[in-house]
Amino acid sequence: MSGSVAEISVQRRASVPREEARKPKPVEGKDGGDSKELREKILSRLKIVGRLVLSVLFEFLKLNGQALYLLGKDILELAIPPKEKSLRGSLVLITGSGQNLGRELSLQLSQHGARLVLWDFNEDQNEETAKMIRDGGGEAHAFTCDVSDQRVVASVAAKVREEIGHPEIVINNAGTYCYKPFLTHSPEEISRLVSVNLLGNLWVTREFLGNMIDLGRGHIVSVSSILGYMGRNYVVPYCASKFGVKGMTEALAEEVRKSGKGQNICVTAVHPFLISNVSDVKPNLKFPSLFEVLTPTEAARRIIRGIRRNQEELFLPEKLKPLMMMSKVLPRSLRRLFGDYMEY
């Protein structure tokens, strides 16, 4: 009996280590190691986020600093205009030179010493402009050209390059205008408006831009309109063509700038409100001094001044610029409200 009790006692003592052996032994310092690793991960991520926030903040401040500099420069130029480049000896090609604004531009450019290449589809009027320049002691070469026809433009451009040389300044002034309800425009009238006002700019620019890029200097000027910024009734095809000219000049300026070869190539868009030779439009404005109607002579003088200053965008009158800039960010309902308010 006593032997059996002793055996049971021995078995119990032997079974205790076996049960304890089955229990998993705690790993010393495991909880502390996990916490340390977690803290390191959190700190690493916070550092990454912190660097990202600082980088974004730096870029934001840098961008705003550049924006303030350019805005300040633009405002300063209103008080202290930039130096005007000389046009003496420059070969300038101008389209639509036979009358009105084109003729005035040609005559005044000649007075600045420029050599003129005159393009117009009306041969007699164009020759008259050339004669006026020559009589004043200037140099003028007249060519008959319909800028809406790409093949004619290419042919006349080749003749200019061969006989006279490569123009340093090209002024796309040729244009046509029609004021009446959209549905009363014939398909031929619409096609003519778009072909002359928009495609003519593209065909002429395409012929002479390449040499400017090769030389690393030159100037492209396109006469658009305030109606290339805002649409109005009775001039639907005209507005479409002038919006296209505005888009063309903006896109071309960016393409030249990003090519890396256009530091000294300027692209200028001219936006006149109304020139007095347009006889079939009589605006009824509450503030006529703000929306100044210019004569061709005065408009030409201001355009040439803008060309000499390498202005990329020129409004006539100049006081319209802030209004047009604001119109780009206003909703259409507000643009209509202000537009209706300005008219009787």
Distance CA 204, CA 164 (A): 16
**What is the per-residue DSSP string for 115-172?**
EEEEEES-HHHHHHHHHHHHHTT--EEEEE--TT-HHHHHHHHHHHHHHT---SEEEE
Quick: pLDDT tens for 10-59. Answer: 455 544 455 555 555 555 455 566 787 888 888 888 888 888 888 888 88
CA dihedral 231, 172, 81, 133 (to 10 degrees): -130
Comparing 46-50, 76-80, 109-113, the range with the smallest average pLDDT is: 76-80
pLDDT, residue 315, reads 92
34 vs 41, 46, 116, 283, CA distance in Å?
Answer: 11, 18, 83, 80
Q: What rounded mean pLDDT belongs to the chain?
A: 86
Work out the pLDDT band at 8, boundaries 50, 70, 90. Answer: very low
Active site residues: 238
Query: 3-class SS at 92?
Result: strand
Q: Are 88 and 112 in contact (CB under 8 A)?
A: yes
Strand partners, 118: 94, 142
Report pTM: 0.78
- Which structure tokens are listed for 294? 């210019």
